[in-house]
Amino acid sequence: MSPILGNFLQTVIKKVFSCAFSRPAESSDPALAPAICNPISQERGLACYALPAVLIAAFIVLVVYASSTLDFYPYSGRFPRTKTEFLKPGRLDRKLSRLEKKIKTNPNDIRAFFESGLLKFQKGPERYIDAISELETARSGGLSDIRTFYYLGQMYQAVGLYDFALEEYRRFLNNRPDDLEVSLLAAKLLFHLGKYPLAVKEYEGLSARHPENVIVLENLALSRWKNGQDPKSILDIMGGLDAEAAFRAEYVSGRINYENKQYAAAASRLERAAADLLKYPEFSDRAGLYQMLSDCYVKLKAEARAIDALNELLKISPANDEARSLLARLVKIRSKTAAK
């Protein structure tokens, strides 16, 4: 039970008991004294306690029922978005087990489907398909909850159904238009889908509301460039902010140089960005930075530097077989060159 509900129940119970069982105040009027002391009057007074007592009993039954319901649906009202907010694995499994039994008992319990879908989201990508199915079942059965849009958007995006994800994010933003995280998710999807004019529009709106947000400015610069617009004014703004903004501006400039096949300029900018990379652990494209940097070195025939960049890339993405194969090839070429 939530602390707010608990405090509310405690207050109500106190008031009901106070009204039901408090002694009447003694009167200084002698004319009233017989009525107070009269046994018949006392019987009537006791009879008057019956209704409050019944109400108290009914209230206690209601509280017990509500408590058991809330205990069965322990996730009601919670809205975790990051792993640090998720339930611990053991507790998560126990709650899911109880919900599965409830669904078997009543296949029409849309609340149980909803709660189970929320919890399976926390289990990770291997349970996303099940979670999507259960949340959609709850929604088609008539359940309406804003969290449905957020979690379905996240999971549809994770399984590659980007148009579905974008639709869910839009639904969420119809209810919470000022949610920065979901606004960024929607804008990034527009960029990913190649809808650059719409991405620019989204990021410009966000920039107006968050003029010094480096994530917004970084993505606005990239979206403008992809849309055929000059990103220089945005990059200049970033360069005039703090060190992180300048770092991200360097990365964006290097990425633009790289995609324009200006490999020498790209390598110079990406090198400077890589030198500061550890200062900004929240930067999300660390692997992409080293991939571009290693490719620049390969194009510039700087094999030793390419090997260094590939080693850094594999520290971040050890499952990158393409990078591992390229690294082996470059090491072999270097060994043959050294042997001559």
Residue 139, pLDDT > 60, answer yes
What's the whole-number average pLDDT of the chain? 81
- Give the residue carrying structure tokens 């989201």: 121
Query: How many angstroms from the chain centroid is the CA of residue 16?
Result: 42
Q: Which pLDDT band holds residue 124 (cuts at 50, 70, 90)?
A: confident
Give the integer Cα–Cα distance in Å for 168 and 152.
7
Q: What is the pLDDT of residue 97?
A: 84
Can you identify the CATH homologous superfamily of domain 83-177? Tetratricopeptide repeat domain (1.25.40.10)
Give the integer Cα–Cα distance in Å for 72 and 94.
11
Q: What is the pLDDT of residue 220?
A: 97
Q: What is the pLDDT of residue 89?
A: 76
Tell me the two tokens of residue 178.
């000022």
Q: What is the pLDDT of residue 259?
A: 94
Q: What is the pLDDT of residue 197?
A: 97
Give the integer Cα–Cα distance in Å for 266 and 251.
9
Q: What is the pLDDT of residue 335?
A: 79
Q: Tell me the range of 13-17, 18-22, 34-38, 293-297 where mean pLDDT is highest.
A: 293-297
Give the integer Cα–Cα distance in Å for 157 and 182.
12
Q: Span 172-188, mean pLDDT? A: 94
CB 272 within 8 A of CB 246: no
Q: Span 134-140, mean pLDDT? A: 93
Q: Which long-range contacts (CB under 8 A, 24 or more apart) does 239-248 make?
A: 241/212, 241/214, 242/214, 243/276, 243/279, 244/214, 244/279, 244/280, 245/212, 245/214, 245/217, 247/273, 247/276, 247/279, 247/280, 247/283, 248/214, 248/217, 248/218, 248/283
Q: What is the phi-psi region of residue 124: left when phi exceeds 0, alpha when psi lies from -120 to 50, beta otherwise? A: left
Read off the amino acid at residue 187: A
Least confident of 64-68, 87-91, 195-199, 270-274: 64-68
Percent of the chain beyond pLDDT 70? 74
In degrees, rounded to 5, the angle at the alpha carbon of residue 285 between the alpha carbons of residues 80 and 294 is 155
Q: What is the pLDDT of residue 58?
A: 53
Q: Span 40-57, mean pLDDT? A: 52
Q: What is the pLDDT of residue 73?
A: 39
Q: What is the pLDDT of residue 12?
A: 47
Q: Span 304-324, mean pLDDT? A: 94
pLDDT tens per residue across span 106-117: 988 999 999 998
Burial status of residue 188 (CB atoms within 10 A of its CB: 0-12, 13-18, 19 or more):
buried
Q: What is the pLDDT of residue 39?
A: 46
**Any idea where the domains of the chain sit in the sequence?**
83-177
pLDDT tens per residue across span 205-219: 999 999 999 999 999
Nearest in space to 285 (alpha carbons), one of 215, 201, 212: 215
Burial status of residue 300 (CB atoms within 10 A of its CB: 0-12, 13-18, 19 or more):
middle
pLDDT tens per residue across span 328-337: 999 988 877 7
Give the integer Cα–Cα distance in Å for 114 and 86.
16
